[in-house]
Amino acid sequence: MMRDLKASFTVAAVLVGTVVGAGYASGRELWDFYGSYGPVGVPSSLATGLLLGLAACRALSLAEDAPGYAALSSAWPSAFALALEGVGTLFLWVILAATLAAAGALTSSMGGLSFLQGLILFGALIGALALGGARSLASVHSLLVPYMVLFFGALTLGKPIPSPEPSAPHPALPFPFFWAALLYAAYNFLPLLGALLALDLDVARRGRRGAIFGGFVLGLLSALAVLLLLRHPPDAQDPLPFLTLARGLGPLWVVGYQALLLAALSTTALSSQVALQQRLKLPSALAVPIPLLAALPLAILGLPWIVSRLYPVVGAASLGLLAFVLWPRRRRR
């Protein structure tokens, strides 16, 4: 019983920690995908969390008889499985590069280090943590995610909500709100799937129902955050709306928020790094440095370039994977 509960907590923590990356924790991502659509963004963000939890639970159920992608893709047509491998590996590389770039930007904004120095230092930290493989992945998420959830929840509840009505939605929005929410779930699902399938088989098998709980926590946190953003609409040029809100609460909140951002970057980067290590199957001496070195040139281009050019493309491609995992089918005997 305790082993099942611990495994469920680990799966839930990995789900939340992988999705709550720099873009999410900044508030900019949540505003662009949900807040800018007005009040309908609140239930939409909750639904996205539940959808991710359901899809993650379903994927782990399909792969419970053998470890990793080999089991999950065995039920799929070979061409689809090959496409999944290619797109999945590409997006894990993109996510790793994005977190390195975000870490470089964050450390340089805090002072003392240049963008490149912060990027390299953070990459070295992720490389050291990744030496532990799946165990390190589970431990880091289990330690950092509770802090992330508690602080993020305290921030959303700690900022006074004024009486005026929420701001009107932005005039020219590229997608209907439900399509934006679906895209958000889709482009988070690929790195999430990679992280969950990188866990030890016993943890993934025993804890797959924890994905539902993790999706609920993620959705509830997102709904509270979107509600806060609706009551305190960010400036169009503000890259860190939640940092702006934290400054209004005092200097200790700012320090706590900076720690939250670093934790969010660490969990997301480690998820992508460990998943890449397992998928590439490189010799042990090269397993950790090769993914990091490969991500470095892309990371130097900066987070805005990566998000604007690459995220929408891979997110749209991920819709097929999300639909296939959720499509009902008979289990093989």
Residues 84 and 69: beta-carbon distance below 8 Å? yes
% pLDDT > 70, the chain? 84
Structure-model confidence comparison of residues 188 and 324, the more confident one: 188
- Mean pLDDT in residue range 70-78: 57
Provide the pLDDT for residue 168: 47
User: Is 58's pLDDT higher than 80?
Assistant: yes
Q: Which CATH number fits domain 2-326: 1.10.3720.10, 1.20.1740.10, 2.40.160.20, 3.40.50.720?
A: 1.20.1740.10
Given pLDDT bands bounded at 50, 70 and 90, which one contains residue 9?
A: very high
- Mean pLDDT in residue range 302-318: 76
User: Is 329's pLDDT higher than 70?
Assistant: no
Given pLDDT bands bounded at 50, 70 and 90, which one contains residue 328?
A: low
Note the pLDDT tens digit of each residue in 205-222. 888 889 999 999 999 999
Q: What is the DSSP letter of 291?
A: H
Closest CA to 187 of 29, 66, 331: 29
**What's the mean pLDDT when you consider all of the chain?**
83
Structure-model confidence comparison of residues 177 and 76, the more confident one: 177
Residues 11 and 203: beta-carbon distance below 8 Å? yes
Triad 303, 24, 278: Cα angle to 5°: 70
User: Mean pLDDT: which of 18-32, 225-239, 257-271 is highest?
Assistant: 257-271
Lowest mean pLDDT among 27-31, 87-91, 118-122, 294-298: 87-91
Residues near 321 by beta carbon (within 8 Å), at least 6 away in sequence: 84, 87, 88, 186, 189, 190, 193
% pLDDT > 90, the chain? 35
Given pLDDT bands bounded at 50, 70 and 90, which one contains residue 163?
A: very low
Chain centroid offset of residue 45 CA = 14
User: Is 64's pLDDT higher than 70?
Assistant: no
User: Is 71's pLDDT higher than 80?
Assistant: no
User: Mean pLDDT: which of 66-70, 128-132, 133-137 is highest?
Assistant: 128-132
Provide the pLDDT for residue 238: 80
User: Is 33's pLDDT higher than 50?
Assistant: yes
C-alpha distance from residue 60 to each of 81, 102, 248, 250, 274 (Å)? 16, 30, 42, 42, 17
Distance CA 317, CA 320 (A): 6
Given pLDDT bands bounded at 50, 70 and 90, which one contains residue 50?
A: very high
Provide the pLDDT for residue 165: 47
Q: For the chain, what are the domain ranges?
A: 2-326
Given pLDDT bands bounded at 50, 70 and 90, which one contains residue 79?
A: low
Tokens for 264?
A: 């969010």
Lowest mean pLDDT among 52-56, 114-118, 181-185: 181-185
Given pLDDT bands bounded at 50, 70 and 90, which one contains residue 294?
A: very high
Q: What amino acid occupies position 144?
A: L
Q: Which helix (H) or strand (E) covers residue 303, if one does?
A: helix 303-309
Q: Count the neighbouring beta carbons within 10 Å of the beta carbon of residue 17.
A: 29
Closest CA to 102 of 264, 237, 235, 281: 264
